[in-house]
Each structure stands twice: as C-alpha cells, then as structure tokens.
C-alpha cells in the first residue's frame, strides 16, 4: 500500500497493492496497522455505500460537530472525488484537491475531519464505499455550494452540462455564508 501526499496537508491518495492473475485480482482496501504506521486514524465506526448514475454530484458535505474522517473507495465505475479545507484557522482554508477514483485504478482518498467532501460520477454508474470515523449526526450535517467561485473546483463536467444534484446540495450556501470549523 502506497500513501501519497496531496496539495492539502492531511489529505492522502492511497494506492493499495493489487495482485492480479488469471483468476482476477486481490486487493487489501484497509489495514489498521498500515494506517497507524502512516499516522492516520484507524478507528472507523461506519461503512457507507452510495450508488449513482453519470452526472450525479454529491456534496460538498461535512459534519459540523463530531466531524468525520472519510476513506473513500470506488468499487465500480469512476468518480472525481474532492476534498475542501473548511478549517478557518488553516493556511489552506477554502482550497481543494481532487482525484479520479475508479474500480479499475483502485485508488482511495483519505479526507480528514474538518474537510468538505464531494464527488462527481464520470461513468454510467458508480458504487462508492466510504469508511467514516464518526457516526452520522443529521442535526450537524452541512453542505457547501459545489460551484462556489471562491473555491473554484475544476469539476470535469462536459461542456454546458449541469450535474444532477439533491435539493439540499442545490440550495447549499457559498463558503462566505457557510458554518465552518474554527
């Protein structure tokens, strides 16, 4: 398992070892020992599975109290996965990084607490799995506007295409109006 730094301190791209032969493949998606050795949290409390069609954009989501760290994987399809630093005291506040995660490349993204998370589905269908470090708390669930120009995420959308959004995500506030972390 290779753990690579990204442009945002604390966010890591994880490249699991994939062992292939004529039967298929085997890959270790998570190892508490390897995470601990890399200084990453290894105490996950919940696994989530999301299935979405092409053009669906989920996010940018975060939990204001008991913030969740997320280990995001795609087991089928492809997404553009994004993390945004929402810690006002951080030198990288409001900055983002993204990575293409797919069932084919088997890459994962570790997003620590204090960051917003979202993804855009690039394939006809995508199954996204993510492990979280805190239980979901609906009363503290927040969204941030996916197309906030002050953040400037480079979503790989087709020309003149609009993503498919939930009502919550379509009505999410911009960063200047959002509740964020200290």
Active-site residue numbers?
Answer: 61, 130
- Which residue shows structure tokens 């470090």? 133
Asked whether 92 and 85 are in contact (CB, 8 A), the reply is yes
Asked whether 85 and 94 are in contact (CB, 8 A), the reply is yes
Structure tokens at 10: 């604390």
Measure Cα distances from 143 to 38, 43, 91, 140, 159 in Å: 30, 24, 21, 10, 25
- What gap in Å lies between CA 136 and CA 75, rounded to an integer? 22
Asked whether 82 and 153 are in contact (CB, 8 A), the reply is yes
Asked whether 173 and 144 are in contact (CB, 8 A), the reply is yes
């Amino acid at each position: 398992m290779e753990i690579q730094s990204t442009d945002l301190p604390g966010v890591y791209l994880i490249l699991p070892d994939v062992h292939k032969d004529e039967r298929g493949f085997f890959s270790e998606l998570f190892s508490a020992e390897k995470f601990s050795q890399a200084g990453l949290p290894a105490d996950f409390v919940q696994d989530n599975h999301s299935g979405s069609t092409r053009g669906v954009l989920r996010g940018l989501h975060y939990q204001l109290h008991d913030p969740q760290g997320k280990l995001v994987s795609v087991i089928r399809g492809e997404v553009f996965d994004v993390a945004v630093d929402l810690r006002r005291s951080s030198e990288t506040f409001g900055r983002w990084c993204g990575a293409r995660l797919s069932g084919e490349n088997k890459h994962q993204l570790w997003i620590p607490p204090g960051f917003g998370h979202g993804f855009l589905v690039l394939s006809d269908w995508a199954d996204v799995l993510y492990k979280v470090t805190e239980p979901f708390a609906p009363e503290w669930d927040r969204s941030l506007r996916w197309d906030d120009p002050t953040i400037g995420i480079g979503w790989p959308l087709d020309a003149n295409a609009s993503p498919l959004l939930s009502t919550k995500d379509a009505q999410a506030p911009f960063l200047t109006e959002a509740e964020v972390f200290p």
